[in-house]
Structure 1
């Protein structure tokens, strides 16, 4: 049933965006000024988030490889549609540098990206809410933490050494159910596939980065299960660097030597676990405010185009952005 529902959601996603593409784009551009005026009336959290995602402060010129908004690459269709949803409000001749896919290094030029490294000067990576159908899937969880199985679960691909390290460290821990459903993996690492609903029957779900960020982090933190993970090294629109260990998630050592100790402690202190789950749920709720999300997306792009010298800023909107 969950798979059928998810497929229906995907079909609706593509159908809605296809309709937007065939609609007269001038209709969207006429609405930009009004939407920006509404956005500047938002509270300080919107300003803080837009300046978190777009940390650019100085003027710059787009690179020679920057593409006009009218010719965004379609090769990764969900990335295209997630960006086009908001670029259609701007002049199609405006140019933008972007990198679709997993970005493990900060771009040389200010560029729109899905993710960026947390450490160092990462301002050239301008975060945008890309591939959101996959990364911001946060279904409701009806099972209370206390009613879940006292098990730590993980499933995923072995595309990162830390994931293999987890399987080695957890192999002999009776409360762990960790492995990969990939048939090409070594036999000792293979475990049957588990859906999101099946994993959420467990009290503890481990989140591990893969090629970049951990895809499962958002749906874990929005559930009534507890997220266990090493501190993140990449961030997306979810603002992973804003997550606080022992507040929003339970931190693990990179070699997982403390996994048993952490779970045993939480089993003895369920109120502590409930507190962290509640804080994680509260963190996720802001991403469900569609009006704020849309305002931030437009402002992130607006700031990019102003600093790149392609738009003359509206004084009131720019005052809001600058604080």
Structure 2
């Protein structure tokens, strides 16, 4: 038995992430001078696509001054908790002068800050300009995988494993825990729906994977969309660097109603029309690939922050 393969297959390797982050933090070079070199790589890409993503993540315009809670880059130090938010933001803040100020709201952000702030997540609807997206907590959220099982070779069921704490998740489990088309389990101890965690590899045996939002986005959505299985979910209400607000229902995922009432009908439809499900797999995989050029992602992140500082730090 290959223990290493069982432990780390289809998962980001956290020890390597922390090792790189610590090294980067302690032995950083002069990245302020490297910013112009990075920006010059724009000529290698579709400039319109890059600018559209920058403006999607950062919708600020005019002059939007920061309020209380701002911190200078030079004074930004690693907190005792939420280290990943520090590491992932500092990775790009280091490209800018230390006297520039910013605000960062860590965690699962479901409200719009009063002042322009760097966040991991934001509501899709409404005026969300003060929520400037950066790829934070990416070791947990940005996990793209390799799946060698063709869609038609998978089981005709929906698999779901989650911490079922939110009202909307409980509502789904109340409706479908015992349904013959579903294999659902709550990983929380003592739950009436309790089942043990299973690996991503085990999920890949199923044609359909449940991707219901938790506190904010559905964490598993990225790896599902990079697989040969299909994500099943209502229309998303929160988004991250993955731009969930741009996903097209029944093109990138199978959409079900917000009250979940049409789940059986939707699953049966795609079981009977596998060619349409395979087209969703194709489109979902293509969507994932646009986030997998690291140089391009670095460029966009620096451009997002450059726009942020132009709007917030200039009188």
Segments of structure 2 that go 5 or more residues without pairing to the other structure are: none
Q: After superposition, give the CA deviation of every residue in 1:159-215 in whole Å (9 maximum; x if it has no partner).
A: 2111111111113421210121211312xx112321111111100001011111110
Candidates 116, 119, 127, aligned match of 1:121: 127
Counting matched residue pairs gives 308
80-89 or 65-74, which deviates more: 65-74
Q: Post-superposition shift, 1:24?
A: 4.6
1:68 equivalent to 2:105? Answer no
CA contact (8 A) 1:159 1:211 kept: no
SS at the partner of 1:287? coil
Q: Is the 8 A contact 1:104 1:212 kept in 2?
A: yes
2:194 to 182, 190, 196: 190
In the alignment, the residues of structure 2 paired with residue 270 and residue 288 of structure 1 have an alpha-carbon distance, to the nearest angstrom, of: 27
Using the alignment, how far apart are the partners of 1:302 and 1:39 within structure 2? 14
Provide the rounded CA distance (Å) in 2 between the counterparts of 1:85 and 1:220: 27
The alignment status of 1:287 with 2:291, answered yes or no, reads yes
2:42 alignment partner, one of 39, 42, 46: 39
* Per-residue deviation, 1:3: 1.9
- Residue aligning to 2:311: 307
Give the Cα separation in 2 of the matches to 1:103 and 1:9.
25
RMSD value over aligned CA atoms? 1.7
Counterpart in 2 of 1:138? Answer: 144
Structure 1 residues without counterparts, runs of 5 or longer: 312-323
Residue by residue over 1:92-143, the C-alpha shift from the partner in whole angstroms, topping out at 9 and shown as x without a partner, is 2211011000111011111000000011000100000000011001111111
Distance 1:131 1:8, change over 3 A: closer
CA separation of 1:61/1:38 partners in 2, compared to 1, >3 Å: closer, same or farther?
Answer: same
Please name the residue that 2:225 is paired with: 221
TM-score by length of 2: 0.93
Residue 310 of structure 1: how far off its partner (Å): 4.3
SS at match of 1:112: strand
Q: Is the 8 A contact 1:204 1:228 kept in 2?
A: yes
Following the alignment from structure 1 to structure 2, what is the Cα–Cα distance between the partners of residues 122 and 310?
21
Of 197-206 and 158-167, the range deviating more from structure 2 = 158-167
| Cα shift at 1:32 | 1.3
Q: Aligned in 2, Cα 1:7/1:139: closer, same or farther, shift over 3 Å?
A: closer
Shift of 1:63: 1.7
1:267 and 2:271 are equivalent in the alignment: yes
Q: Secondary structure at the match of 1:308?
A: helix
Paired residues for 1:73-112 under 5 Å: 73-74=78-79, 75-112=81-118
TM-score, with length taken from structure 1? 0.91
